[in-house]
Amino acid sequence: MKQVSLLGATGSIGIQTLDVLRLHPDQFSLYAMGFGRNVEKALPLIREFEPSMIVVQDEETKRKLEKEVAHPQILCGGEGLIEASVAEPVDVVVNAVMGSIGLPATLKAIQSKKQIAIANKETLVTAGHLVMEEAKKHDVNLLPVDSEHSAIFQALNGEQRRDINKLIITASGGSFRDQTREELAGVTVDDALNHPNWKMGAKITIDSASMMNKGLEVIEAHWLFDVPYDQIHVILHRESVIHSMVEYVDRNVIAQLGTPDMKVPIQYALTYPERKELPITKNLNLEEIATLNFQKMDMDRFPCLRMAFEAGRAGGSMPTVLNAANEEAVQQFLEGKISFLDIEKYIEQALENHDRIHNPDLSTIISIDKETRERVRFQIN
């Protein structure tokens, strides 16, 4: 029986991870669960899974939860997430929190040699060099949950890294794939949250609409698979059926296909290297889909993708700034304080105003992340 620590249990990935755990009660048990402030959503999960440890975002949420359940171990904040990641009984940590808040827990889980299923891409974007250095040092395999990275991971199975010609990451195009840049001026939060293929948390759905999600995924792929940016290619693929591909030097291309359903990569990360039945997901029906479309990615149409490639190539502290400015700007957009097109504007300004720091350590990354967010907030208010 594997003991699972699930960080971000009330989120889109978290809930789907629990769907997968329910299918295999003989193999997985929920030892710890973490969430932010959504006590209402967490309560039935706590009652059903009876985790030994619960982590919430702050003391106020802890007090609220304590009124509802008598539980001996309710922890708080970043320290709590770390406790849940390193607890002795835990075998596998599923990091499904949103944002760079997930970084310290990921690092500590690696240092404790836990198996890690990583959905929290911001961790790899903000500090990929630190995460991969620790993973190498402690001989820990990071198992990707992100659908594109799960696809690449599977396409790389049994292959030699030196034989890779390029990674081909597919992008659905997000909510505004059929809109011109001019048309983006008046779009609303509800428009942006209307993703054509996936039902996800709010932040990643906005990232998909701005194409920043693909930018973050390029940086995520660079670190996870140790592939240079010149060998990472993004292609528009409306159907989200091919989740990504690897082209090898001999021109063989290996693609992974499947119904767009995150339970598929979540379960694969949990059961790897084994495969298990997943009856709660529909089979891929290519006859019904009939046509798969592909289109060249236009970097002028999607400047967030261009900025992510630039920040990734520049390296050092630039991806930290890219990620922090994006997290803050997206939050401000969701709160109705800025327009959709302002998101890219604030990211560009943050990158332009930052003096790159080579090989930043954890405390430098945490302070750059904080300063960048403050600066974006200051410019907006």
Q: Is 146 in the site for ligand DXP (CB under 6 A)?
A: yes
The residues binding Mn ion (CB under 5 A) are 146-148
Q: Is 95 in the site for ligand DXP (CB under 6 A)?
A: no
Query: What angle do helix axes 303-314 and 212-225 make, rounded to 10 degrees?
Result: 30
From residue 104 to residue 123, the character string flagging contacts with ligand DXP as x (rule: CB under 6 A) and all else as - is --------------------
**Residue 94 Cβ vs ligand NDP, minimum distance, rounded to whole Å:** 10
Q: Is 223 in the site for ligand NDP (CB under 6 A)?
A: no
Q: Is 13 annotated as a binding residue?
A: yes
Q: In what order do the strands lie in the sheet with 115-118?
A: 74-76, 53-56, 28-34, 2-7, 92-95, 115-118, 142-144
Please pick, from the candidates 74, 98, 171, 366, the single residue that binds ligand NDP as defined by CB under 6 A.
98
- Measured in whole angstroms, the distance separating CA 89 from the mean position of its chain's CA atoms is 25
**Residue 237 Cβ vs ligand DXP, minimum distance, rounded to whole Å:** 8
Supply the Cα-derived Rg of the chain in whole angstroms.
Answer: 20
Q: Is 214 annotated as a binding residue?
A: yes
Q: Is 148 annotated as a binding residue?
A: yes
Q: Is 203 in the site for ligand DXP (CB under 6 A)?
A: no
- Cβ atoms < 10 Å from Cβ of 103: 27
- Secondary structure of the chain: what % helix, strand, coil (to 5)? 50, 15, 35
92 strand-pairing partners: 4, 115
Alpha carbon distances (Å) from 343 to 37, 115, 187, 297: 25, 35, 12, 20
Binding-site size, ligand DXP (CB under 6 A): 12
**Residue 355 Cβ vs ligand NDP, minimum distance, rounded to whole Å:** 27
Helix (H) or strand (E) holding 92: strand 92-95
Q: Is 353 annotated as a binding residue?
A: no
Q: How many residues does the chain have?
A: 381
**Residue 148 Cβ vs Mn ion, minimum distance, rounded to whole Å:** 5
The answer to whether 76 touches 58, Cβ cutoff 8 Å, is yes
The DSSP output letter for 283 is: P
Q: Is 201 annotated as a binding residue?
A: yes
Of 216, 189, 183, nearest to 305 (Cα)? 216
Please pick, from the candidates 17, 18, 34, 305, the single residue that binds ligand NDP as defined by CB under 6 A.
34
35 binds, among ligand DXP, Mn ion, ligand NDP, none (CB under 5 to 8 A by kind): ligand NDP
The CA distance from 239 to 50, in Å, is: 38
Please pick, from the candidates 5, 95, 126, 147, the single residue that binds ligand DXP as defined by CB under 6 A.
147
* Closer by beta carbon to ligand DXP, 198 or else 272: 198
**Residue 177 Cβ vs ligand DXP, minimum distance, rounded to whole Å:** 8
Residues 232-271 touching ligand NDP, rule: CB under 6 A, are 262
**Residue 98 Cβ vs ligand DXP, minimum distance, rounded to whole Å:** 12
Q: Is the torsion defined by CA of 156, 161, 164, 168 positive or negative?
A: positive
Q: Which of 94-102, 270-278, 334-342, 368-376 is the region at the interface with ligand NDP (rule: CB under 6 A)?
A: 94-102
| Phi, then psi, of 326 in degrees rounded to 5 | -65, -45
**Residue 264 Cβ vs ligand NDP, minimum distance, rounded to whole Å:** 11
Q: Is 188 annotated as a binding residue?
A: no
- For β-strands 242-248 and 142-144, DSSP reports them as unpaired
DSSP-H helix ranges across the chain = 12-23, 39-49, 59-68, 77-86, 103-111, 121-137, 147-155, 189-192, 202-210, 212-225, 263-271, 286-289, 303-314, 318-334, 340-352, 362-380
Residues 264-303 touching ligand DXP, rule: CB under 6 A, are none
- For β-strands 232-236 and 164-171, DSSP reports them as parallel
Q: Is 11 annotated as a binding residue?
A: yes
Q: Is 195 annotated as a binding residue?
A: yes
The answer to whether 210 touches 115, Cβ cutoff 8 Å, is no
Q: Which of 96-104, 245-253, 268-276, 329-337 is the region at the interface with ligand NDP (rule: CB under 6 A)?
A: 96-104
Q: Which residues bind ligand DXP (CB under 6 A)?
A: 146-148, 171-172, 174, 198, 204, 208, 213-214, 262
Q: Which residues bind ligand NDP (CB under 6 A)?
A: 8-14, 34-38, 41, 57, 96-98, 101, 119-122, 146, 198, 200-201, 203-204, 262
Binding residues for Mn(2+): 146, 148, 217
Binding residues: 10-13, 36-38, 120-122, 146-148, 172, 195, 201, 208, 213-214, 217
